[in-house]
């Protein structure tokens, strides 16, 4: 496919879009999602894997809270992938990921994911281009396994923020007492690697797009939440799920 160029894609909602109307739409979608999720849980045939990627402060935590925060916790779970442990490093890079995929009936949210193994690792040169290529192939095979063999529907969101918006949010983490716990010295160091991170993300989009990426303009939370809710809603709506009858 043609290479996606992040610089050419707006980080903001389309100009004409009415904010209040969109927020009302999102609220309706969330309300319907509650019922669709219950149906999926009851039917236990499909599962959904939501992958959230994006630069630091791109709004991954907020997306989880706002879009998935009103669903039944019995049907939704979150896995956050941080620096791998020694045990995890002693396995292939998909080992810790595979353990966390959703079982039938569930929505699993990955807060960061196996994509970090071709992002942060490449930026810091812990993984060379040849290794990255092998990993991309393995990722495609892995996503294909989940999709084909367990009715797992994968939604991959790249939360697309501008450098200016990131700067503003990182500064707020320092000045706002209730957000300081989220601040990490590394955030500023990583922020300086902005251009190379963007290039590595574009590589992901190009080479791991069999399950397509949804590039989500994320400078405005209301629009980001709308895009995520809408994609999830379209997916679930399209599955034509039914409540099962009495077990025989």
List residues near a copy of itself by CB under 8 A: 42-43, 61, 64-65, 68-74, 76-78, 80, 109, 111, 174, 177-178, 180-185, 243-247
User: Least Å distance between CB 75 and a copy of itself?
Assistant: 9
Contact 47, 103 (CB under 8 A): yes
User: Least Å distance between CB 200 and a copy of itself?
Assistant: 25
User: Least Å distance between CB 70 and a copy of itself?
Assistant: 6
Which of residues 49 and 76 has its CB atom nearest to a copy of itself in the complex? 76
How far, in Å, CA of 5 to CA of 98, rounded? Answer: 30
User: Least Å distance between CB 170 and a copy of itself?
Assistant: 12
Which of residues 148 and 175 has its CB atom nearest to a copy of itself in the complex? 175
Which of residues 28 and 74 has its CB atom nearest to a copy of itself in the complex? 74
User: Least Å distance between CB 23 and a copy of itself?
Assistant: 18
DSSP 49: E
Which of residues 109 and 229 has its CB atom nearest to a copy of itself in the complex? 109
> Where does the chain have alpha helices with state H?
19-43, 60-68, 86-89, 95-98, 120-123, 129-150, 163-175, 185-191, 194-207, 221-238
Sorted by sequence, the CB contacts under 8 Å of residue 230 that are 6+ apart come out as: 26, 29
How far, in Å, CA of 204 to CA of 61, rounded? Answer: 22
Which of residues 13 and 40 has its CB atom nearest to a copy of itself in the complex? 40
Contact 241, 48 (CB under 8 A): no
């Amino acid at each position: 496919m043609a290479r996606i160029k992040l610089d050419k894609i707006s980080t903001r909602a389309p100009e004409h879009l009415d904010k209040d109307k969109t927020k009302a739409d999102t609220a309706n979608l969330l309300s319907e999602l509650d019922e669709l999720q219950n149906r999926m849980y009851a039917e236990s045939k499909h599962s959904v894997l939501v992958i959230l990627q994006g630069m630091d402060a791109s709004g991954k935590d907020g997306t989880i809270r706002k879009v998935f925060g009103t669903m039944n916790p019995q049907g939704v779970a979150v896995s956050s992938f941080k620096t791998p442990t020694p045990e995890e490093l002693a396995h292939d890079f998909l080992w810790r990921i595979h353990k966390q995929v959703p079982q039938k009936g569930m929505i699993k949210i990955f807060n960061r994911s196996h994509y970090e193994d071709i992002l942060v690792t490449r930026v810091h040169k812990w993984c060379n281009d040849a290794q990255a290529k092998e990993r991309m192939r393995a990722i495609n095979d892995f996503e294909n396994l989940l999709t084909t063999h367990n009715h797992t529907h994968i939604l991959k969101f790249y939360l697309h923020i501008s450098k200016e918006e990131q700067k503003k949010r990182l500064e707020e983490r320092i000045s706002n007492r209730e957000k300081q716990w989220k601040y990490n010295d590394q955030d500023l160091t990583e922020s300086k690697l902005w251009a190379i991170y963007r290039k590595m993300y574009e590589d992901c989009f190009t080479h791991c797009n069999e399950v397509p990426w949804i590039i989500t303009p994320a400078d405005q939370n209301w629009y980001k939440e709308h895009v995520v809710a809408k994609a999830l809603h379209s997916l679930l709506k399209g599955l034509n799920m039914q409540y099962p009858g009495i077990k025989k």
